[in-house]
Structure 1
Amino acid sequence: MPELPDLDVVADALHAALAGRPVASARAVMPLAVRGTPAELEALARQRVARVARTGKFLDLQLERDRVVVNPMLTGRFQLAGRGEKAPSGVAVELSFGPRGGGPPPDAARWTTGAGWLPADGAPVVVRFRDPTQMGKVYLLPAGVERVIPGMGPGEMGPDALDPALTLDEWRARIRKHPGELKNLLRNQAFVAGIGNAYSDEILHAARLQPFRKRSTLAPEEVDELYVAMRVTLGDAVRLLRERVPPTFEKQVRDHLAVHNRGGEACPRCGSRITQVTAGGFPTGYCRSCQR
């Protein structure tokens, strides 16, 4: 499942590659993945890209007039390709873009500057959203049309986990309202947005906290340590993935994780065996020795 670090890198890369380009064509290879009408999809043509951004675990393509919001769910991935480049299997939606003048946008992420994988401004570009399980959804949001996106409605999405506005004081105030298990809390997008199954394990390992422990049992210093672990773990992952992911943006890099999906291996901190259990259909990895 793409999470905050994965989508942060994809959004930065696509913004640098696409901003200023006009949509040449939009094609629904798997129409069931699209929430919108064929006419709305066709109307994307000739609109220029204003911005590509990440909102929680969604990718938001903002055009001159309309928006396209993608929820990749468990298996959705993105491909940045040249026109004519062979498409992988499982493509749900394909957007083609024309050339642009003036180079990358001035607000492109610094790490993308001069990147060898950036397509030439005069060359056409194709972005494909592929999802073999067809769980992900592509929402078309024409200007003036209200369309509910599950997970983005009022009260459904909390502050972004890396938002500077989510200060330690704000974190303390928000977490007091949630007495449940810590892993479920971190995965609750209404509490904080962007964290999924993998990085919740990593954050809790960094904070030395058990995933099934109740928030109501945390001491004040543990609440603060969890906040720091969240910011450091996600920030470090974003920086690592900027180096490891391009130009194959459909690749999901997970080999840097300390405990997630590493059941039976040695804990990198204390050397004890990592425990992996499946709860609610999702694997949870943690160390019984150094997570309290």
Structure 2
Amino acid sequence: MPELPEITALADFLDQRLSGAQLTRFLLPSAFPLKAADVPPESLIGRTVESVGRRGKFLVFEIAPEAPLDGDSAAPLYLVVNFAKSGWLTFTDEQSGDEETAAGGYFAAQLGFSNNGHDFGITLSDTGTWKGLALFIVRQPAEVHGIAELGPDPLDPGFGLDEFGRLFTHRQQIKGVLKNQKLLAGIGNAYSDEILHAAKLSPVAAAASLGPDAVERIFTTMKDVLSGAVQELSGKKPSELKEAKKASMRVHGRSGEPCPVCGDTVREIAFVGTSLQYCPTCQTNGEILAKRGAGEA
């Protein structure tokens, strides 16, 4: 599932190209991906993209109003994309010939844009067996339920150690706290593994059991890992982001490989549809974790 760093890089990439662009095409082969719409999708055609940004793991297009509606003051609309587990997008720059091809034949939506005579295309696709990619057209991003419930953004300059420390009164395990979108917005399975490895903390330790020094260490590490990943992914094309993320991982997705820090074998605990990876030497004092120990992670 795309997480904070790659969604940030994706939003920045699109914002540079689409800010000020006119939406020229909005094709939905099926109504299934459209979960909410204050206006018909086709009514967005001809409107201008004000900006492309991120809320948690959501990609957000701000669309300028065409004209005041029903006597109300003109207000923007927002096209919000939830990529879910297996969704992503491909980007086409028709003028430069920079073209990406969506994997497989399924796509959830196709969008066309024109910016000063420069044409762009976006295809939103979902390669999973269960198609979870969802679209929302709303008047405020917070009208999307998942956005309304988001906790603070870990990279928000105003999010400090005191606020972070209050999250660690929860009985959840540390990994569960980091992944809980109602507590922290944007961290998923991959980067929670990376943060805990870099902080040298067990993924199954109870959050409430951490002392002040450990809480400060994980706070600092979280900021460093996420900001470093954003910087590393910045400027990359959408087609490059997933592989770049995978290549940057030290333990996530590397079960059976040597830990790059100590050389111990990276271990895995697998669950239905997901798994976590960790280094016993770096994180658990050599203990090999049992599956039952990570049920909340």
TM-score (norm 2): 0.83
Matches within 5 A, 1:99-110: 99-100=115-116
| Aligned 8 A contact 2:79 2:137 in 1 | yes
Among 102, 108, 122, the residue aligned to 1:127: 122
Question: What amino acid does structure 2 have at the position aligned with 1:246?
Answer: K
Matches within 5 A, 1:134-149: 134-141=131-138, 143=139, 148-149=143-144
What is the count of residue pairs matched by the alignment? Answer: 265
Question: What amino acid does structure 2 have at the position aligned with 1:98?
Answer: S
1:69 equivalent to 2:80? Answer yes
Question: What amino acid does structure 2 have at the position aligned with 1:271?
Answer: G
Unmatched segments (≥5 aa) in structure 2:
65-75, 285-297
Q: Partner residue of 1:164?
A: 157
| C-alpha distance in 1 between matches for 2:162 and 2:263 | 35
| C-alpha distance in 2 between matches for 1:59 and 1:48 | 17
Q: Aligned-pair distance for 1:248? A: 2.4
Q: Partner residue of 1:151?
A: 146
| Aligned 8 A contact 1:3 1:196 in 2 | yes
Per the alignment, do residues 179 and 247 of structure 1 end up closer, same or farther by CA in structure 2, a change over 3 Å counting? closer
Per the alignment, do residues 250 and 271 of structure 1 end up closer, same or farther by CA in structure 2, a change over 3 Å counting? closer
Among 178, 183, 187, the residue aligned to 1:186: 178
Q: Partner residue of 2:111?
A: 95
Q: Percent identity?
A: 33
| Aligned 8 A contact 1:78 1:250 in 2 | no
| C-alpha distance in 2 between matches for 1:92 and 1:249 | 21
| Aligned 8 A contact 1:79 1:249 in 2 | no
Unmatched segments (≥5 aa) in structure 1:
101-121
Higher alpha-carbon deviation: 5-14 or 31-40:
31-40
1:220 equivalent to 2:212? Answer yes
| Aligned 8 A contact 2:259 2:265 in 1 | yes
| C-alpha distance in 1 between matches for 2:37 and 2:52 | 22
Question: What amino acid does structure 2 have at the position aligned with 1:123?
Answer: H
Deviations 1:99-120 (A, max 9, x none): 23xxxxxxxxxxxxxxxxxxxx
Q: Partner residue of 2:294?
A: none
Q: Aligned-pair distance for 1:279? A: 3.2
Q: Partner residue of 1:232?
A: 224
Q: Partner residue of 1:118?
A: none
TM-score (norm 1): 0.85
Q: Aligned-pair distance for 1:87? A: 4.8
Q: Aligned-pair distance for 1:170? A: 1.8
Q: Aligned-pair distance for 1:281? A: 3.1
Q: Partner residue of 1:248?
A: 239
| C-alpha distance in 1 between matches for 2:58 and 2:36 | 17
Q: Partner residue of 1:20?
A: 20
Q: Aligned-pair distance for 1:55? A: 0.4
Per the alignment, do residues 124 and 265 of structure 1 end up closer, same or farther by CA in structure 2, a change over 3 Å counting? same
Q: 1 or 2, which has the higher helix percentage?
A: 2
| Aligned 8 A contact 1:60 1:68 in 2 | yes
SS where residue 289 of structure 1 aligns?
helix
Per the alignment, do residues 37 and 61 of structure 1 end up closer, same or farther by CA in structure 2, a change over 3 Å counting? closer
Q: Partner residue of 2:92?
A: 81
Per the alignment, do residues 86 and 262 of structure 1 end up closer, same or farther by CA in structure 2, a change over 3 Å counting? closer
Q: Partner residue of 2:29?
A: 29
Question: What amino acid does structure 1 have at the position aligned with 2:133?
Answer: G
| Aligned 8 A contact 1:30 1:91 in 2 | no
| C-alpha distance in 2 between matches for 1:251 and 1:218 | 33
SS where residue 221 of structure 1 aligns?
helix
SS where residue 43 of structure 1 aligns?
helix
Per the alignment, do residues 38 and 92 of structure 1 end up closer, same or farther by CA in structure 2, a change over 3 Å counting? farther
| Aligned 8 A contact 1:24 1:97 in 2 | yes
| C-alpha distance in 1 between matches for 2:83 and 2:101 | 18
Per the alignment, do residues 206 and 250 of structure 1 end up closer, same or farther by CA in structure 2, a change over 3 Å counting? closer
Question: What amino acid does structure 2 have at the position aligned with 1:282?
Answer: T
1:2 equivalent to 2:18? Answer no
1:278 equivalent to 2:270? Answer yes
- Aligned-residue Cα RMSD (Å) equals 2.1
| Aligned 8 A contact 1:25 1:45 in 2 | yes
